[in-house]
Amino acid sequence: MSLWEFYARNSGEVLGLVGQHVSLVASSTAIAIVLGVPVGIALTRRPAWRAPVLGLANVFQTIPSLALFGFLIPLPFIGGIGATTAIVALVVYALLPIVRNTYTGLAGVDPAVREAGRGMGMTDWQLLTQVELPLGLSVILAGVRVATVVSVGTATIAAAIGAGGLGVYIFRGVAVVDNTLILAGALPAALMALAADGLLGLAERRFAWRAT
Amino acid sequence: MTTPLEVQGLGYELPGKGKGEAGSGRFLVHDVSFTVGAGETLVLLGRSGSGKTTTLKLINRLLEPTTGEVRIAGARARDLAATRLRRRIGYVIQEVGLFPHFTVARNVGLVPRLEGWEPPRIVERVRELLAVVGLDADTFALRYPHQLSGGQRQRVGVARALAADPPLLLLDEPFGALDPITRVELQREFQTLKQRLGQAMVFVTHDVREGLMLATRIGLMQQGRLVFLGTPQEFRQSDHPESKAFMAAA
Ligand SMILES: Nc1ncnc2c1ncn2[C@@H]1O[C@H](COP(=O)(O)OP(=O)(O)OP(=O)(O)O)[C@@H](O)[C@H]1O
Ligand SMILES: [Mg+2]
């Protein structure tokens, strides 16, 4: 059976899995942004926290994803079988690039620009929201892009703990040694990663302000 | 009428290492005193690293003085909220520091916007100020800083500092890094501008000709200290070795 035949016969299921996959990636990335950007901002205000926080995020990053899913299953509330556990794991992986890029983006704002803002009488909040975040946005978006692309790939493993997504086809294909089935899961995931990369790359360039 | 700026025994000692320790004993600025009346321009002259920029930052509290006192229109600067204080003091920073993501108009209108002016009033004020610094509003208002030449950016920096009509202006080498012709042009324009504005100004430069041309009084800084304070006439005749060194360079 060719790939196209497979899609034609199972279009309902395919769309369902694509939907699950997108929602795993989107919700975990959104949560990682909500958590990671404030942490990255905090690091620019508290230089002493930088090394330990980025170090910790780095350590999380090195845990193999299958192992992390495994660790999470026995935990109450955030663990168990299903999407919640998968999302928690994906958030853990997405945090590092987002925290690090938020820090880098804000720290990279021209000191003269920051000083001008303070010298004109901006409060710390005004400086953050009107100067530092807009100027650092392109670097922050680069972190979001990396996090999203990685997350699309990692989310295929979520199928192993019953969270659904395109990994369902991949695992099934591996189990029955069916390359078409593996491809049926891998191809849309790859396209999704490329699309996320392209779109976020566009946004990133849109907010790259030219220095003077 | 109160004096726009009084500086008394101003000093800045670098902090010591670690918390709760005494200062390091290294002073970037030491025991500087002067006053600037309305319509007066005090030119701070000095070599690179002599403490000119640091002195300006101590006045608007970008750095907190470790000794001495600054009074703005009679009120002690340290009693005012730093942000309110700074909005009443126009500041042209040495590196210009325009916001790259703001148009020229938004850059110039920054302080009025922070002060909550009505948008139509800001628009009008921006046009007026661009004219004051010799930029055509129709041509430049909607450009971004990267679309300007260095000299145009410096003019925008001056306009931004003037925006809320502050009674005191701090200018840190506003004409630095310009070709000599444009520089002289801007200096001339600035002289007429000065008479029109009637503000008190502290004008930092290391160019002695510029200093003599614009100053009501000249303060000469050397290694963080004010080693001479007097009129341009007195400066020309000063016996201080540093003054002589500067006059010889003119
Ligand atoms: N944060 C700091 N820590 C330690 N030293 C500093 C700091 N800021 C400035 N300095 C030193 O203080 C001295 C005075 O610096 P300042 O910027 O006031 O000089 P300046 O007179 O404005 O020089 P220039 O004409 O080059 O702008 C310099 O020797 C400088 O290296
Ligand atoms: Mg300086």
Q: What is the pLDDT of residue B146?
A: 95
Query: Is residue B46 within 6 Å of ligand 1 at its C-beta?
Result: yes
Calculate the average pLDDT of chain B.
92
Distance A123 CA to ligand 1 centre (A): 25
Query: Which residues have C-beta within 8 Å of that of residue B32, sequence separation ≥ 6?
Result: B7, B9, B10, B11, B51, B55, B68, B221, B224, B225, B226
Atom of ligand 1 nearest to the CA of B51: 18
- Is residue B21 over pLDDT 80? no
Q: What is the pLDDT of residue B1?
A: 62
Contact B132, B210 (CB under 8 A): no
Q: What is the pLDDT of residue A63?
A: 86
Give, for ligand 1, the residue of B52, B62, B207, B246 to mutate: max count of ligand atoms closer than 8 Å to Cβ.
B52
Q: What is the pLDDT of residue B20?
A: 61
A-chain residues within 8 Å CB-CB of B62? 115, 118-119
Question: Which one is predicted more confidently, B161 or B178?
Answer: B161
Q: What is the pLDDT of residue B19?
A: 62
Nearest Cα to Cα of residue B210 among B243, B174, B245 = B174
Nearest CA in chain A to B98: A113
Give, for ligand 1, the residue of B14, B27, B28, B225 to mutate: max count of ligand atoms closer than 8 Å to Cβ.
B28
Atom of ligand 1 nearest to the CA of B52: 21
Per residue in B7-17, pLDDT (tens digit) is: 999 999 998 77
- Please report, rounded to a whole number, the percentage of residues in chain B having pLDDT higher than 90: 77
* Residue with CA at minimum distance from ligand 1 atom 19: B49
Is A120's Cβ below 8 Å from some Cβ in B? yes
- B206: which DSSP letter? S
Atom of ligand 1 nearest to the CA of B55: 18
**B114 to each of A36, A89, B124, how far by Cα in Å?**
29, 43, 16
Q: Choose among B85, B93, B146: nearest Cβ to A116.
A: B93
Q: Which residue type sits at A142?
A: A
Contact B170, B119 (CB under 8 A): no
Tell which B residues from 66 to 105 touch A, by Cβ distance under 8 Å.
Answer: 82-87, 91, 93, 95-101
Q: What is the pLDDT of residue A113?
A: 96
Distance B59 CA to ligand 1 centre (A): 15
> What's the rounded mean pLDDT across residues B195-220?
90
Alpha carbon B163 to chain centroid distance? Answer: 14
Q: What is the pLDDT of residue A57?
A: 86
Distance B203 CA to ligand 1 centre (A): 17
A55: region left, alpha or beta (phi > 0 left; psi from -120 to 50 alpha): alpha
Query: Is residue B205 within 6 Å of ligand 1 at its C-beta?
Result: no
Nearest Cα to Cα of residue B154 among B114, B121, B107, B109 = B107
Tell me the pTM: 0.89
Mean pLDDT, consecutive 10-residue segments, chain A of 212 residues?
89 93 96 97 94 89 85 81 89 94 96 96 96 96 96 92 91 92 94 96 90 72
**B138 to each of B105, B110, B189, how far by Cα in Å?**
10, 19, 21
Tell which A residues from 19 to 78 touch B, by Cβ distance under 8 Å.
Answer: none
Q: What is the pLDDT of residue B18?
A: 65
Buried b (16+ CB within 10 A) or exposed e, B28-60: bbbebebbbeeebbbbbbbeeebbbbbbbbbbb
Buried b (16+ CB within 10 A) or exposed e, A86-110: bbbbbbbbbbbbbbbbbbbbbbebb
Rounded Cα gap, residues A196 and A192, in angstroms: 6
Query: Is residue B153 within 6 Å of ligand 1 at its C-beta?
Result: no
Rounded Cα gap, residues B8 and A204, in angstroms: 50
| Alpha-helix runs per DSSP H in chain B | 52-59, 82-87, 104-108, 110-114, 119-132, 137-140, 150-162, 180-197, 208-214, 232-237, 241-249
Angle between helices A11-45 and A133-154 (to 10 degrees): 140
> What's the rounded mean pLDDT across residues B136-150?
95
Nearest CA in chain A to B61: A119
Q: Which ligand is nearest to the CA of B93?
A: 2
- Is residue B206 over pLDDT 90? no
Query: Is residue B57 within 6 Å of ligand 1 at its C-beta?
Result: no
B37: region left, alpha or beta (phi > 0 left; psi from -120 to 50 alpha): beta
Q: Given the DSSP bridges, would you call strands B217-222 and B225-230 parallel, antiparallel or unpaired?
A: antiparallel
Is B153's Cβ below 8 Å from some Cβ in A? yes
